[in-house]
Amino acid sequence: LTHLGDILYMGSVAVGPDHRDRYLVLFPTTLLMLSVSQRMSAFIYEGKLPLTGISINKLEDTESYKNAFEIAGPMIERIVAVCQTKEDQQAWVDTIRQQIRSVRLSSPSPTVRPQPPPHNSMVRGSNIGRPWSVSCLRPSPPLRFRDDKSSRNFKKTSERGFDEDAQILRVIEAYCTSAKTRYTVNSALLDPPPLLIAEEEKIIEEDSRENQTGVQEKSLVDTVYALKDEVKALRYKMSSVSHQLEEERMARNQLQTVVHNLLMASSHT
């Protein structure tokens, strides 16, 4: 990070057809791409692109993506980055284009070299890429003996570099913390409701028998079956009551007819 210079611009974008979250960090001559570890505790190096070998194009909105721009170049595959708003899209395009012009004016004949992927970087002892954390900034032991004078000069340079790296890391970690907060809120909103196991769920209900009230504990399954039986009994009672009402209505109509006939007969006599 010391050799890359100061951070000019940075922010989060979505990359690829599956919209993977990535952090783009713009340095004076390099565009760095980072991702966040699953625990949101560190950044993972994804690659870097020299500004002398890339171009930025603003893309029109389509069904696949909106607020997007592309990063293209002769030595890299086309990268489509999707921003959250139109303002972010325009800011990224303007800032990177302006910095590309500045770099090309300052270095007329740049040499474009393809950047190796992270897993092929020169790491001794292991080929597995590790997440970038604060421990990566710790000084490593010297590989060969140095005299006192060179050791003192190296120590001063290292301390100054560590201070600059620590400042850059604090800025990046601040963005990581805000992203972690958004991720926590979104994951809490998307969490499924707790699963209920009917056999294990218990229900406490009051049982009134012979003028005595007691408390009884039943499982959810037993309660459901008991309610089903009660509903069935209520339906039978309702059907019986309806049948009785219909018989009473018919008897009342017959009685009304008999009374009417008697009244008619008595009036004629």
The overall average pLDDT reported for the chain is: 74
Residue 34 three-state SS? strand
SS3 for 221? helix
Look at 195 and 55; give whichever has higher pLDDT: 55
Q: Are 67 and 49 in contact (CB under 8 A)?
A: no
Same domain? 175 vs 225: no
Which structural domain range is residue 253 located in? 221-268
Residue 139 lies in a domain: no
pLDDT of residue 142: 46
Do residues 72 and 166 both lie within one domain? yes
CB 81 within 8 A of CB 16: no
Confirm if 21 and 14 have CB atoms less than 8 A apart: yes
Tell me whether residue 74 is in a domain: yes
Query: pLDDT digits over 88-112, tens only?
Result: 999 999 999 999 999 888 865 545 5
- Model's pTM, two decimal places? 0.41
pLDDT digits (tens, 9 = 90+) for 68-79: 999 998 888 889
pLDDT at position 97 is 92
The total number of structural domains in the chain stands at 2
> Do residues 54 and 178 both lie within one domain?
yes
Q: State the CATH number of the domain containing residue 92.
A: 2.30.29.30
Handedness of CA 243, 246, 250, 252 (dihedral sign): positive
pLDDT class for 123, splitting at 50, 70, 90? very low
Residue 211 located in a structural domain: no
Residue 139 confidence (pLDDT): 46
Q: Is residue 215 part of a domain?
A: no
Is residue 167 located within the same domain as residue 230? no
